[in-house]
Structure formats: C-alpha cells, structure tokens
C-alpha cells in the first residue's frame, strides 16, 4: 500500500473516531440528568460535577487519544520504523 493510500485510510479512521466520539458525547449529555453527579466539597463551598459533563469530556478525550496515537504511528512510519506492521 502506498503512503498516500495509508494517509487517506488513516484520515478516514480519524474522522470515524471523531464522529463516534461526538455522537456518543452528545448522547451521554442528553440522556443523563443535570442534577446527578459527584459533589466535591471544599472548605467554603461545594462543587457539583454532573455525570453528563464527565461523560462528554471522556468521549472527547478518547477521540483525541486515538487521533494522537494514529498521528504518532504515521510519524514513525515516515521515519522508517516498520516493526509495527
């Protein structure tokens, strides 16, 4: 497979992961109630971190992680490291 074909294939994989991550994040944000979450208590006040926000950012973090791993793999392939094939 040529480098161009691998690049296009990886671009589609990244697009699919990002689309799935956003769809999952929006679904989690829509399904979980706003008042349900973890309360963090401080000395003077309390902070409620809703589960829907945690789910949203977790899905986006997963998409960023997969993108970073694919980019690192592409960079390693460009410098000639072929042991992962």
Could you list the residue range(s) of the whole structural domain that residue 10 is in?
A: 3-32+48-78
Domain total in the chain? 1
> What pLDDT, on a 0 to 100 scale, did the predictor assign at position 84?
52
Is residue 19 a part of any domain in this protein? yes
How far, rounded to the nearest angstrom, does the alpha carbon of residue 12 sit from its chain's CA centroid? 15
Q: What single-letter DSSP state applies at residue 40?
A: E
**What number is the average pLDDT over the span 6-16?**
80
> What pLDDT, on a 0 to 100 scale, did the predictor assign at position 45?
92
Q: Is the pLDDT of residue 82 over 70?
A: no
Is residue 21 a part of any domain in this protein? yes
CB-based contacts of 3, cutoff 8 Å, min separation 6? 77
> What pLDDT, on a 0 to 100 scale, did the predictor assign at position 11?
77
Residue 34 sits at φ, ψ, to 5 deg, of -70, -30
Per residue in 17-63, pLDDT (tens digit) is 778 877 877 887 788 777 788 888 988 998 888 877 777 777 778 77
Is residue 37 a part of any domain in this protein? no
Is residue 85 a part of any domain in this protein? no
For the CA atoms of 5, 11, 15, 20, the dihedral, rounded to the nearest 10 degrees, stands at 80
Is residue 42 a part of any domain in this protein? no
Is residue 39 a part of any domain in this protein? no
């Amino acid at each position: 497979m040529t480098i161009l074909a691998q690049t296009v294939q990886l671009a589609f994989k990244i697009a699919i992961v990002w689309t799935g991550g956003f769809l999952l994040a929006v679904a989690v944000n829509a399904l979980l109630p706003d008042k349900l979450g973890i309360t963090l208590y401080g000395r003077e006040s309390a902070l409620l971190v809703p589960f829907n926000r945690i789910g949203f950012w977790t899905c986006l973090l997963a998409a960023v992680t997969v993108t970073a791993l694919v980019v690192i793999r592409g960079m390693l392939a460009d410098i000639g490291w072929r042991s992962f094939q």
